[in-house]
Amino acid sequence: MMKPKILVVISLLIQALQMNAQTQQKDFVKGADVGFLTGQERRGQKFYDVKGRERDCLELLKTDYQLSAIRMRVWVNPFGGTNDKNELLAMAKRAKALGMDLMVDFHYSDSWADPGKQPIPQAWRGHTFEQMKQDLRTHTIDVLSLLKENDIEPRWVQVGNETTNGLLWDMGHIEKNPQQYAGFIRAGYDAVKEVFPQAIVIIHLDKGHRQDIYDWNLDIVLKYGGKFDMVGMSLYPYWARDGHPELKADDIISDCIKNIRYVSQKYGCDVMIVETGYEVDEQQPEIMEEGRRQLTRVIREARNETNGHCRGVFYWEPQCLPGGYKLGAFNSKGAPTVIMDGFVETK
């Protein structure tokens, strides 16, 4: 029989664990990438709530759908200034005024960077590996210093966007130059910490349902000296099934939740779903209802079935209208569809 003193200690430990789990659940973040919003507003797009009242989009996302954070991508020297540091700053100020947290997503490109393309910025081309590490470092510090000068502190910073196959190709291609890929990740990590020591640095990969991808990529990063605080995942059942109709959305979600538990345990870090999205089809309401169901499930299980290690879920560009992007969550009139209800159904 256990001694009373031991039983007391065990009881206190259990209570501490329960309190920690409750605290983590309360800190679970629901957010959205809104990188297109500035351009939409510039073109005169208006946004409305489900009752038809015109609303500020960020305020609508926060007040009606409980979103507490935004994610903004930033490019190096983009054509026309789209997604540059000044656009980031303007949106960050709006988010701060609403009490919303900020995630900065460095693409380290002049345009889109993802698993199929990671183009080197024009101004960095022809540079050596050491020069390009310095380029990356200088750009990271420059952007973050602008935020700091304006009293804005990002809570999270992504060092690269969906770097499943590396970044800054071919210099940092994961198969061709794995050590240099890890070197770029480390250079970004160190640059972020120099400006914002408390910021959570995220390494972001796609296909959150594929454990093998995370084993392969993250092992390489750590083997060659890379660092990260958190792992970001993209989860898109729609795109995962594209070309693979045999896959089922619910199985993809289940595999992602399982992978979150696996990654957090193996690498000793928290995880976040930094991108997700579901199809809008105004001609088929049942498709949007299915999207609501899937999003509801993702948020509920990410919060409750990952041992407290999934720290949140971000929707990618929910305010997009279906004519431009099929996985937004608003209708053609600029109002939320039923998909957005997934954010408030989290019990």
Token representation of residue 291: 């999207």
Residue 25 lies in a domain: no
The verdict on residue 17 lying in a domain is no
Report if residue 121 sits inside a domain: yes
Q: For residue 284, give Cα distances in angstroms to 49, 298, 324.
A: 21, 22, 17
CA-CA distance, 182 to 311, in Å (whole number)?
24
pLDDT of residue 80: 86
Answer whether residue 83 is part of any domain: yes
Looking at the 3D structure of the chain, how many domains does it have? 1
Number of H helices, E strands in the chain: 10, 10
**Parallel, antiparallel, or unpaired for β 270-276 and 230-235?**
parallel
pLDDT of residue 58: 98
**Which residue range(s) make up the domain with 250?**
31-343
Q: Is 305 within the bounds of a domain?
A: yes
Look at residue 3 in the predicted model and tell me its pLDDT. 55
Neighbouring-strand partners of residue 30: 313
- Please tell me the predicted confidence (pLDDT) of residue 20: 43
143 close to 173: Cβ distance less than 8 angstroms: no
Q: Read off the CATH number of the domain in which 290 is found.
A: 3.20.20.80
The pairs formed by 44-53 with CB atoms below 8 angstroms and a separation of 24 or more are 45/321, 45/334, 46/334, 47/319, 47/330, 47/334, 47/335, 48/333, 48/334, 48/335, 49/335, 49/336, 50/335, 50/336, 52/335
Find residue 338's DSSP bridge partners.
none
Closest CA to 74 of 125, 145, 132: 145
Mean pLDDT by 10 residues, the chain (347 residues): 51 45 66 97 97 98 97 96 95 98 98 97 98 98 98 98 98 98 98 98 98 98 98 97 93 98 98 98 96 97 97 98 94 97 77
Alpha-carbon distance of 52 to 332, in angstroms, equals 13
Residue at 315 is within a domain: yes
pTM of the model as a whole:
0.92
Q: What local confidence, expressed as pLDDT, does residue 4 receive?
A: 55
Residue 152: partners with Cβ closer than 8 Å, 6 or more residues away: 89, 92, 93, 96, 102
Look at residues 220, 161, 134, 159 and name the one whose alpha carbon lies nearest to residue 33.
161
Given the DSSP bridges, would you call strands 69-74 and 29-33 parallel, antiparallel or unpaired? Answer: parallel
Residue 3 domain-assigned (yes or no): no
Write the CA distances from 182 to 101, 139, 221, 223, integer angstroms.
Answer: 28, 18, 5, 8
Q: How far is CA 328 from CA 33, 260, 317, 321, 325, in A?
A: 11, 24, 6, 6, 6
Would you list the DSSP string of 26-37? HT-EEEEE-TTH
Position 225, amino acid: G
Residue 153 falls within a domain, yes or no?
yes
DSSP-based helix, strand, coil % in the chain, nearest 5: 45, 15, 35
Q: What pLDDT does residue 22 have?
A: 42
- 3-state DSSP assignment of residue 276: strand
Give the DSSP H or E segment for 274.
Answer: strand 270-276
